A and B are shown apart, each in its own frame.
Chain A
């Protein structure tokens, strides 16, 4: 029974190693309905069967042929290429076995033909070395996979685990009784520490990446705001220039005693000035600026932005935070509307101060279901890197002001409300 469980476990490791090895050199086929898992299960069964065959030649033949057939089903590649890779994988497996046996027998002077438990330890060592080799191949030959992106420092950290395990098993084989137990206990202690530092390192890097992304978005929002302010300033300068010319004209008319013409001209000017007062006034310079800029943006995207705003002079929030909240909320809404038919492209934005409570909400129609991943709403942006960043940014600022964030959605609408005490 133990023998069967051992063989099953070891062949499973071989199948998993196979997968990593083939992923390194071949391109996966797209199979339907978990077909790949079924094939891998078949490969596992076949490897288990082969392990029960006593004749060495037959065993090699069955394993290589089985691996070759499964690989042909799972991966794209020419007949020769797949055959060569299958042979290479098996050779690597055998090499790992041979190296372990050689090291134990001739360097560490361990008798490899011993009882079942000790023999199992040796087998585990063989498979571990095989895994190490496969991972190394993946790291240095795979140009698309995840491992090729790991920096050298982390790679060393990761490799410490299998190497440490190898050393531990070897130590257990050499030493006897309590000594072996002590050794493994110390080894596990060390592995725990290493694991802790590795995780800490990963978290630190993740936080750095997050900070960098937040910084990028903040910088972009600020940039947009400055651009909008600059455009306003330029417009103002142009207006001043125009007014100076117009005043010159009025002075000329008055100097020529053409009073009625001057009056007519002034009336005409009033008419044009009134029409040119194209602005949104909420008594809050930053809100005005963002709304103006976003109205133009929405118009470009053919989205109708319906606003409900009021006198916001009493809003007490840092400009930068207000920019992030408004810009992200509106951008998210516009982005959602872009996927809708023209008639449905309406984004409602409400910014109100009610009883010292700043309420900002957006509502838009949606098409289909809101997508969630682990309870967190994800956007359907094409740029995967920016997934959910906007919403996270909003949450961060709402938390900073001890505010509340409400997201409600049905089959055809999505509402996002932020409430911040002033």
Chain B
């Protein structure tokens, strides 16, 4: 996996520290060929919107002269909705604005190494799933689906219906058990003998009904209900 990373901090020392720690942590996970660009302020970062759209993750200092990190983050999010934001801060400062830009982590400068180590690990895990491309021979032809795009799989009369974003469906021959084994590493939950659901898209599980974030509702059998809930909350508990 190859990552494109941006680091924005007004202090050169921290820029270098952050870059070095990210490189070390990614190397530990066997991820070597990455691009890391550094910026000393928000203006510099925002001046190339095309490049900004390419970044997978942004490590951003909150307190910088001129525009602060939070303001920059809002602009970055408008240009690159998918970008993962990791705030670097000198003080414990979890403000409500952080939720608006969907901050992934806040890392304290006084524990930069341990904080970044955890954050990079979590980012890596997130991107590992996000960037994984599944290639299947479907009735519609060969299709490549990124894991986050796949909402759920339904087994119907020896065929598997892959329900992806925008309510599109691909159909292929196969067994749900085999697909479950293959998708096990990407946090899929078997809620029914005929349904395999991507945990990332589960909005709620209530009264034996699982609701996906695209509004689709799926029934969970009584005998599986507790187990499905346990699996779901176990994955949720691990944070992102």
Does the CB pair B238–A348 fall under 8 Å?
yes
Q: Is B92 at the interface (CB under 8 A from chain A)?
A: yes
Q: Which of A276, A278, A309, A408 contacts B230 (CB under 8 A)?
A: A408
Residues of A within 8 A of B118 (CB): 304, 306, 346
Q: Mark contacts of B194-206 with chain A using CB atoms, 8 A cut-off: 1 yes-contact digit, 0 otherwise.
A: 0000000001101
Report whether B111 and A404 are in contact in the complex, using a CB–CB cutoff of 8 Å. Answer: no
In the complex, residue of chain A having the shortest beta-carbon distance to the beta carbon of B62: A274
A120 within 8 A of B: no
Q: How long is the Cα–Cα vector from A269 to B91 in the complex, in angstroms?
A: 17
Q: Residue A129 at the B interface, CB < 8 A? A: no
Complex Cα gap A342–B111 (Å): 12
Check if A295 sits within 8 Å of B92, measured CB to CB: yes
A275-B90 contact, Cβ under 8 Å, with A311-B99, A355-B204, A415-B234: yes
Which listed residue (B96, B203, B233, B240) contacts A419, Cβ 8 A?
Answer: B233
Determine the chain B residues whose CB is within 8 A of the CB of A359 once the complex forms: 233, 236
Query: Could you tell me the distance between the alpha carbons of A281 and B63 in the complex, rounded to whole angstroms?
Result: 17
Main secondary structure of the interface of A (DSSP, over half): strand
Across the interface, do B96 and A281 meet the contact criterion of CB distance under 8 Å?
yes
Query: CB of B141 within 8 A of chain A?
Result: no
Distance, CA A343 to CA B25, complexed state (A) = 12
- Establish whether residues B229 and A355, one from each chain, have CB atoms under 8 Å apart when the complex forms: no
Interface flag for B135 (CB, 8 Å) = no
CA distance A360 to B93 in the complex (A): 21
Say if the beta carbon of B94 comes within 8 Å of chain A. yes
What residues on B are CB-neighbors of A309 within 8 Å? Answer: 94, 99
Residues in A with CB closer than 8 Å to B211 are: 355
Docked Cα-Cα span, A230 to B149, in Å, equals 49
In this assembly, does B239 line the interface, its C-beta being within 8 Å of a C-beta of chain A?
A: yes
Interface residues of A in 324-345 (CB under 8 A from B): 342-343, 345
Docked Cα-Cα span, A363 to B122, in Å, equals 13
A interface residues, tally (CB under 8 Å): 42
Q: How many A-B residue pairs have CB under 8 A?
A: 94
Residue of B94, B115, B206, B236 near A281 (CB, 8 A) is B94
Q: How far is the CA of A355 from the CA of B117 in the complex (A)?
A: 32
Residue in chain B with minimal CB distance to A419: B233
Cβ-defined contact, A311 with B96, below 8 A: yes
A346: B residues at CB distance < 8 A: 114, 118
The B interface is mostly helix, strand or loop, or mixed, namely mixed
CB distance from A377 to the nearest CB of B (A): 15
Q: How far is the CB of B89 from chain A (nearest CB, A)?
A: 9
Chain B interface residue count, Cβ-Cβ cutoff 8 angstroms: 31
A231 to chain B, nearest CB (A): 14
A189 touches B (CB below 8 Å): no
Which residues of A sit under 8 angstroms from B229, Cβ to Cβ? 404, 406
Question: Is there an interface contact between B234 and A281, defined as CB atoms closer than 8 Å?
Answer: no
Per the bound structure, the CA–CA distance linking A310 and B68 in Å amounts to 21
Q: Is the CB of A361 within 8 A of B237?
A: yes
In whole angstroms, what is the CA distance A193 to B236 when docked?
52
Decide: A417 and B99 in contact? CB cutoff 8 A: no
Q: B239 to A348, Cβ gap below 8 A? A: yes
* Distance in angstroms between the alpha carbons of A419 and B234 in the assembled complex: 12
Q: Which residues of B sit under 8 angstroms from A274, Cβ to Cβ?
A: 63, 68
Given A343-B114, A408-B230, A307:B94 Cβ within 8 A: yes
Chain B: which residue is nearest A304 at the CB level?
A: B114
A283-B96, A348-B238, A415-B233 given; A306·B105 CB < 8 A: yes
Chain B residues contacting A59 (CB-CB under 8 Å) are: none
Task: Assess the A292–B92 pair: CB atoms within 8 A.
Answer: yes
Contact A308/B240 with A406-B233, A408-B230 known, Cβ cut-off 8 Å: yes
**B168 at interface, CB cutoff 8 A:** no
Asked if A277 is at the interface (CB within 8 A of a chain B CB), the reply is yes
Chain B residues, CB < 8 A from A281? 94-96
Given A274-B68, A355-B204, A406-B229, A279–B237 Cβ distance below 8 Å? Answer: no
**Whole-angstrom CA separation of A306 from B115 in the bound complex:** 8
Task: Indicate whether A72 reaches chain B with its CB closer than 8 angstroms.
Answer: no
> A354–B204 contact, CB under 8 A?
yes
- The complex places the Cα of A276 from the Cα of B92 at a distance, in Å, of 9
**A403-422: contact bitstring with B at CB < 8 Å (1 yes, 0 no)?**
01010100001011101000
Tell me the nearest residue of chain A to B92, going by C-beta.
A278
Query: B-facing mask of A258-278, CB < 8 A → 1, else 0?
Result: 000000000000000011111
Q: Which residues of B contact A311 (CB under 8 A)?
A: 96, 99
A69 in contact (CB, < 8 A): no
Check B238–A363 contact: CB distance below 8 A.
Answer: yes
Q: Which residues of A contact B91 (CB under 8 A)?
A: 275-278
**A350 CB-CB contact with B under 8 Å:** yes
B114 partner residues in chain A, CB cutoff 8 A:
304, 342-343, 345-346
Contact with B along A273-309 (1 / 0, CB 8 A): 0111111111100000001100100010000101111
* Sampled A-B contacts (5; CB under 8 Å): A274-B68, A279-B92, A308-B240, A408-B230, A415-B233
In the complex, given contacts A274-B68, A280-B93, what are 5 additional A-B residue pairs having Cβ atoms less than 8 angstroms apart?
A348-B239, A357-B206, A361-B237, A362-B237, A415-B234
Interface residues of A (CB under 8 A from B): 274-283, 291-292, 295, 299, 304, 306-311, 342-343, 345-346, 348, 350, 354-355, 357, 359, 361-363, 404, 406, 408, 413, 415-417, 419
Smallest CB-CB A-B distances: 5 pairs: A361-B237, A415-B237, A417-B233, A280-B94, A278-B91
